[in-house]
Structure 1
């Protein structure tokens, strides 16, 4: 007899008095410690075969688990597990650090502690993730509960329904939070969506509990299933409001607190959907929800005391904050066509011209006998003020990767941008465009910095009569470029990290300028109002708001570059920076002032090779870090990283010229124009006044009315198509009907941003309330909905339009919560 069969026999025998240690024996038998998905699937298949031969083991295992879980608090499992806490980072860190010295008391009545006991190995989450989905579904399907044990099912369902109500109240609280309303004042117009989802949740819970007779601790199958469609519609509307707020972040800015709230709101809405599927009559949906919940529970149990997971989770939050906001004017480093390519070369040439003078000033100031900290301050001002000046005169510095790049990358892999395979294809093409743009930026800097530096050295020699630097200093400059006998490449990597950090800093200050209304506050400053004319003050406020991120990013980047060598000197560390633009200027100064007897072709070749390798390291380090932050914010797994690398390598082998020269047919991105600007107000089609072609389908990004009726009359009639709309239910017939509103096969789809024009949004009155039919406890007062069961998103009176306000009726009875 196999060990798995012996353990299942014992579990079935002990189903009335379950012991967690027996279940742990089964898990230990199935566990695979090494990364071996084949062995893991083989063991699960053995368990499936035993349960198929002995169906009574399925009931025994299901009853055993249900009776074991009843002994613990279940509601926290459904409402808290896997949902981000609102506890602050430092409070959580203090708690977990304290746990290392004086362990926290375990919550013995928590299901999480039970799962932590059962799955006590660190790699358990990877082992479970390696099991094929179809085997999971077969296994869960075999866990049948007999009629005599339906009281256990009723108990579990009661806890799930109570959790739905609790989550619903939390969603209402977050959705109507003052911080969210301040970020997006128009949310007051749609607040009924958050209120109505709570009413729908309570109605669904009460109707489900009554139909299945759960209060009698049984679980009958009703003649007519309670449809969750109205609840799912309101959840979808709440998700649409969150999406609209996210799209407005570039106008409103965002804080860490608000980012945390948005993430918790997303997770809570998703958990509501999972819990609704857990009580669904659809077996496939129910089984998949069980699998997803089990995996989430195991991950949470394994990481509940992990400091690394806390830091990982909060850095993801920071990554999301950085990539969800970008400057509207700022610096842009992506070009897709020849026009943008040429414009980038011109901007880089301006930057190279100024950098030649900056490098010269830095070399000359080394002749000053000053203290190390004064040296650091002087170098920082040369770099920082020089970079700011380059930005003001519309130049650019090669290899700079601003937050704009991360935002552009994130836009291609956003949740609504298609399948993962399509996202990776778009991402690989975007990376090619970014690398090509960086290549021409490097060429512009180098091709201008070298001749200008040579002219400066030549002019210095002939005007003053002595070389700008002596031969020893010239030899030292060239030695610093040697990629083999100096630390040029590690120092270039340090500069690459600073380039990346300057991009994050730029994103932070761009967000700060918008979130704190810096421009408007500058315009209202009493001293500036007294000193400057009104027109000048208006321009100053607009300039600071639009360019604060770029200015601060460049200035602090200069401080990083100017102070690193001094910090290394003070602490005795061999650290410094190398940037390709300054390296190219130093190359020209060194070669011009080197003594003829010291000149050799080896020095020239090594120096030129060093400059090129410094640029490559600058670019790869800064870009890979920006790419990592963007992908991390969207939780792209390592497997997809490897697929991305393969696609880039394949592109390099088949079309190498794309990395150097613009394509004949430039790529087009939904949210990026040819100059690298993020497209936020994509409403040209909507505001042009021209009717849309008949073969287009308009897909609204949220279910709200956009234009007043007076303007709707001038717009062509179009079908509205929802891809993932839940099934509706006809009120009169009780039959399920599809809610897809498109009767034709669309050829093209236009995404119209429905929340970008405040005046049009606010001009739409909210006159109709959501009404409930007192006899059926369902939505009423909508003849089209009653007759067809179709939710018309274009009708302002429909429920899906979100065009509603309170008052809402009270539920028949309050939800039954545990004692």
Structure 2
């Protein structure tokens, strides 16, 4: 306490000529290391509480600390702090990686006038992120409330507010640029044609900034309390509409596809809109919102500054971006991977039985192919074609291969974790139930494959012996097949894990090519191919294009999965590594061939049981590895923390011990999920039942690009707008009286396969539509905006 008091006293004495090292002493005193935290979990809160107690007891210290911090910040260039720090960069991954790798050898030059360097100097502890995260939110709120500036130093507050307003306008222009980017307009052209939210938010941001600056006399370095508060509600309305457009674009991804560039763009758009919300709340008179915005912005800046040179953070951020791209496209592979009721359960078994039937012959052909004397690369090619073409054939005849975990499953998992799905505890409970349904579906798929492939392979060996008069394979080869299934004396489990990785990768590949077909309109381009139209009819080519678009992902995923399986052993042979694969369906067929053709003297119950155990463990590893990777990718895209993984595991274990039947048989009452139907298809609803025939939600301002302003109902309006209010009322009365007799005023908009009607009165439900005169007056205010503040003097040099 005495040390804190001494530091605060020194800060109060130096508040008009601040030095960074003094503030660093205060932060170092409050900091709690990892070792200290392990000894006392409440130590961080105790130190903050001690600081708050001192600030309460000595208000002059709180005022001096506020003046010290604001004066110090005003000596640095702050704009990039508000507009760039914590917002995803538009640089490519490769260029960012090369920049950071180069920094390891030749460090980048620091920007001495940037406040980022000041933050990096103040918060230089390796455990600062954890330290700040463990501080109680109530103590943060209390500290922010205590640190206030007196009336004599409102020029500092005015300077900070001016910078916030400038940053708000800069972000607004960036949002307009991203929102009207051709790639985004291509993703949802209809909405952007009729909603000028991205342009309107910029108009509102500029108008709000100028009105706020003028009302508070910020250009005169004052911060007076105006007679009428400048409400940011109109701006927030437009920001919410921009958010809704982004969410709608995400919902349409399963129809339009998405690229890494567009995924990056949407993420930057979301972050910029969120930052604009925070900056607007920094200027509000609501103490709770303002304090929350200060805390949120401060923590985001500190975390971003700490990680700006981290290669691991860059890789982590981009893999999350890739995860989001994967999970945001459902991968329409034409197969059901999640069954929630008895009908879906039975259908999955039938599909798996079809797959098992084909796999029995595939395994037989692969065994017979070893009679050919081939070079290693030729062997890899033959095996790859057997696997790849066989899997594609299974897909075409509507069969399935056990343990497949495509991007569709990852999307199903990710859909249960979203900002609009309720409380996080409820989401995690739903997620655990979904995982039970996925495991049960994979179990029945395995049973369908094994229960058909195993007896059919045995029948093939018997028929071969009866027809040919000699065994299909020799005793030595049969023993080799059984040895490969032994979980104790071979690398069967390791090879099964490799196959699990390939199963997962095949799902990602399916999602990638499915997305590629949608994003590039492959089906329509094939249907209009001039050269092909010379040889086939237009209707046939249309059907072929539709088939390719709907099945390209599944075909490529299955084929490349087969290539992975067929070439792994050859790659291992070339590099001298014990690489191979084991898949449960092929292992079950090989078990039958090996048992039937092995030497009679070696046959015994022990061999049968060990081989069956190997088959079961191979299937378990296949499922466990591929399923775990799918969950990791899905949950990483939603930012699920490690502590929440523990919650999911606990829920799964509890379910296993209380209701083990649900992991193997359908539930008596199937679970209902927001985006998954009873058969496992992903559902993307763009309108609920109450808005079935409306193009936009009721709160949307539906309009073309024009200079209009929309103000929500309940927002305080200046009395100078009385004439405009009267004009609005007359217009509304006219529309009300003319509507029954003027049906030609209705506008029909075609969106996808539906038609929607735009009715003019809906424009007035959102708020007040000002006339062109009002718009021109607001533009005049923009033109008459005063010059920006002069550049601050050079900041104090940070200690080495």
TM-score, length-scaled by structure 1: 0.87
**Correspondence 1:318 to 2:322:** yes
| Secondary structure of 2:398 counterpart | coil
The Cα of 1:699 is off from its aligned counterpart by: 13
Q: 1:123 aligns with which of 127, 136, 146?
A: 127
What is the CA distance between 1:762 and its match in structure 2? 6.7
Cα 1:619–1:804 change in 2 (3 A) is farther
Residue 368 (structure 2) pairs with residue 382 (structure 1): no
Decide which of 421, 443, 451 is 1:417's aligned counterpart.
Answer: 421
- The answer to whether 1:399 aligns with 2:368 is no
Aligned: 1:232 with 2:199? no
User: Once the two structures are superposed, what CA deviation does each residue of 1:642-683 show, in whole Å capped at 9, x if it has no partner?
Assistant: 111111111111111111111111111121111111113566
**Superimposed CA distance per residue, residues 516-535 of structure 1 (whole angstroms, 9 cap, x where no aligned partner):** 00001111222321222222
1:465 aligns with 2:469: yes
Query: Mapping of 1:633-644 within 5 angstroms?
Result: 633-644=637-648
- 1:713: which partner in 2? none
Structure 1 residues 499, 620: closer, same or farther in 2, change over 3 A?
same
Tell me whether 1:258 sits opposite 2:262 in the alignment.
yes
Query: Is residue 2:155 matched to residue 1:151?
Result: yes
> Pairwise mapping of residues 517-556 of structure 1 onto structure 2 (< 5 A)?
517-556=521-560
- 1:680 partnered with 2:674: no
Structure 1 residues without counterparts, runs of 5 or longer: 690-697, 708-724, 735-753, 768-793
Question: Which of residues 559, 563, 568 in structure 1 aligns to 2:563?
Answer: 559
Task: Work out whether residues 232 and 726 of structure 1, in 8 Å CA contact, stay in contact via their aligned partners in 2.
Answer: no
Q: Quote the Cα distance in structure 1 between the aligned partners of 2:454 and 2:133.
A: 55
The 1:705–1:301 alpha-carbon spacing in structure 2 relative to 1, beyond 3 Å, is closer
Instruction: Look up the match of 1:20.
Output: 20
8 Å contact kept, 2:282–2:289: yes
Gap change, CA 1:639 and 1:761, over 3 Å in 2: farther
Following the alignment from structure 1 to structure 2, what is the Cα–Cα distance between the partners of residues 202 and 682?
32
Distance 1:544 1:54 in 2: 74
- Whether 1:764 aligns to 2:758 is yes
Q: Contact 2:190–2:751 (CA<8 Å) still a contact in 1?
A: no
* Corresponding position of 1:11: 11
The residue correspondences of 1:712-791 to structure 2 (distance < 5 A) are 728-731=714-717, 757-758=751-752, 764=758
Deviations 1:420-455 (A, max 9, x none): 112111111111111110010011011011001101
Pick from 599, 605, 610: which aligns with 1:595? 599
Matched with 2:211 is 207
The offset of 1:799, in angstroms, is 4.3
> Does structure 1 residue 269 correspond to structure 2 residue 273?
yes
Q: Which residue of 1 aligns with 2:764?
A: 797
Secondary structure, counterpart of 1:438 in structure 2: helix
Output the CA distance in 2 between the equivalents of 1:801 and 1:143: 39
- What residue is the counterpart of 1:368 in the other structure? 372
Report the equivalent of 1:812. 781
* Mapped contact 1:190–1:803 kept (Cα < 8 A): no
- Structure 2 equivalent of residue 305 of structure 1: 309
> For 1:419 and 1:55, how far apart are their aligned partners in 2?
40
Q: Which has the higher contact order (CA 8 A, sep 6+)?
A: 2
Q: Quick check: 1:344 aligned with 2:348?
A: yes
Counterpart-to-counterpart distance in 2, 1:182 and 1:419: 34
Q: CA deviation at 1:204?
A: 1.0
Match status 1:75 vs 2:79: yes
**Measured at CA, do residues 468 and 806 of structure 1 come closer, stay the same or move farther in structure 2, by a change above 3 Å?**
farther
Q: Is the 8 A contact 1:18 1:67 kept in 2?
A: yes
Residue 58 to residue 127, structure 1, CA distance change in 2 (3 Å): same
- Contact 1:403 / 1:507 at 8 angstroms: preserved in 2? yes
Which residue number in structure 1 is paired with residue 95 of structure 2? 91
Is the contact between residue 78 and residue 163 of structure 2 (CA under 8 Å) also seen in structure 1? yes
Q: 1:808 Cα shift?
A: 4.9
Matched residue SS, 2:42:
helix
String of CA shifts for 1:291-337, please: whole Å, max 9, x gaps: 11111111111111111111111111111111111234522200100
* Distance of 2:100 and 2:269 partners within structure 1: 25
Q: How does 1:502-517 map to 2 (within 5 A)?
A: 502-517=506-521
Among candidates 645, 649, 654, match of residue 645 of structure 1: 649
Distance 1:17 1:250 in 2: 58
Partner of 1:665: 669
Q: Is the 8 A contact 2:333 2:553 kept in 1?
A: no
Check whether the contact 1:409–1:627 (CA below 8 A) recurs between aligned residues.
Answer: yes
Decide whether the 8 Å contact of 1:330 with 1:549 is kept in 2: no
- The residue aligned with 1:615 is 619
Q: CA deviation at 1:490?
A: 1.4
Instruction: Return the offset for 1:812.
Output: 0.5
State the 1:164 CA deviation.
0.6
Figure out how many residues of one structure are paired with residues of the other and give that number: 748
Q: Where in structure 2 are there 5+ consecutive unaligned residues?
A: 704-710, 721-747, 791-800
Q: Do 2:700 and 2:766's aligned partners in 1 also have CA atoms closer than 8 Å?
A: no
Contact 1:203 1:811 survives alignment (8 Å): no
CA contact (8 A) 2:100 2:310 kept: yes
* Stretch deviating more after TM superposition (754-763 or 446-455): 754-763
Aligned equivalents of 1:25, 1:604: Cα separation in 2 = 72
Q: Does the Cα contact within 8 Å between 1:48 and 1:139 map onto a contact in 2?
A: yes
Q: Is the 8 A contact 1:449 1:584 kept in 2?
A: yes
Q: Deviations over 1:223-268 (max 9, x none)?
A: 3321111111111111111111111111111111111111111111
2:252 aligned residue: 248
* TM-score between both structures, scaled by the size of structure 2: 0.89
Label 1:727 to 1:55 Cα distance change in 2 as closer, same or farther (>3 A): farther
Q: Do 2:698 and 2:766's aligned partners in 1 also have CA atoms closer than 8 Å?
A: no
| Cα distance, 1:702 vs structure 2 | 7.2
Cα distance in structure 1, aligned partners of 2:716 and 2:18: 45
Q: Is contact 1:244-1:702 (8 Å) kept?
A: no
8 Å Cα contact 1:480-1:487 kept in structure 2: yes
Greater share of helix: 2
SS in structure 1 of the partner of residue 196 of structure 2 = helix
CA contact (8 A) 1:384 1:554 kept: yes
Asked if 1 retains the 8 angstrom alpha-carbon contact of 2:695 and 2:757, the reply is: no
Q: Does 1:51 align with 2:64?
A: no
Deviation of 1:759 (Å): 6.5
Q: Deviation of residue 728 (structure 1)? A: 3.4
Query: For 2:664 and 2:749, how far apart are their aligned partners in 1?
Result: 39
Alpha-carbon distance, 1:495 to partner: 0.8
Deviation track 1:27-51 (CA, whole Å, cap 9, x = no partner) reads 1122122154422222222222222
In the other structure, the counterpart of 2:29 is: 29
- In the alignment, is the contact (CA less than 8 A) between 1:164 and 1:201 conserved in 2? yes
